[in-house]
Amino acid sequence: VQLVESGGGLVQLGGSRRLSCTASGSIFSSSSMGWYRQAPGKQRELITVSRTVCRTDYADSVKGRFTIYRDNTKNTVYLQMNSLRSEDTAVYYCNHASRQGSYWGQGTQVTVSS
């Protein structure tokens, strides 16, 4: 399974950004797809996961601002981030979890600037 992320970059405080993660070699529709992030000096944390198309969970820190959604026809999961804050600055990683195992993307940097 290979995961390729895109969409990171510099965004202004209060702005929006959408990240994408496309999987290849994956039984995508039956996998859990999650987004994690790691800020400098901090541990990687789970911020949201799409267990199926209809079952999603969010960390309190992003609830109401971030939305995860997936397109199983494109083997792609998205992370829509709105109302970005300085504390959202981090490297964002997508994760695939299924009976195939757990796999990570290479990470994409999101920097929120004022």
Q: What is the predicted pLDDT for the residue at 54?
A: 79
Which neighbouring-strand residues pair with 21? 5, 77
d(CA 33, CA 46): 11
Burial annotation 60-76 (CB, 10 A radius, 16+ → b, else e): eebeeebebebeeeebb
Residues 94 and 34: beta-carbon distance below 8 Å: yes
Nearby residues of 65 by Cβ (< 8 Å), 6 or more positions away: 81, 82, 83, 84
| pLDDT by 10s per residue, the chain, length 114 | 999 999 999 999 999 999 999 999 888 888 999 999 999 999 999 999 998 767 899 999 999 999 999 999 999 999 999 999 999 999 999 999 998 899 999 999 999 998
Q: What is the predicted pLDDT for the residue at 30?
A: 86
Q: What is the predicted pLDDT for the residue at 82?
A: 98
DSSP helix/strand/coil, 23: strand
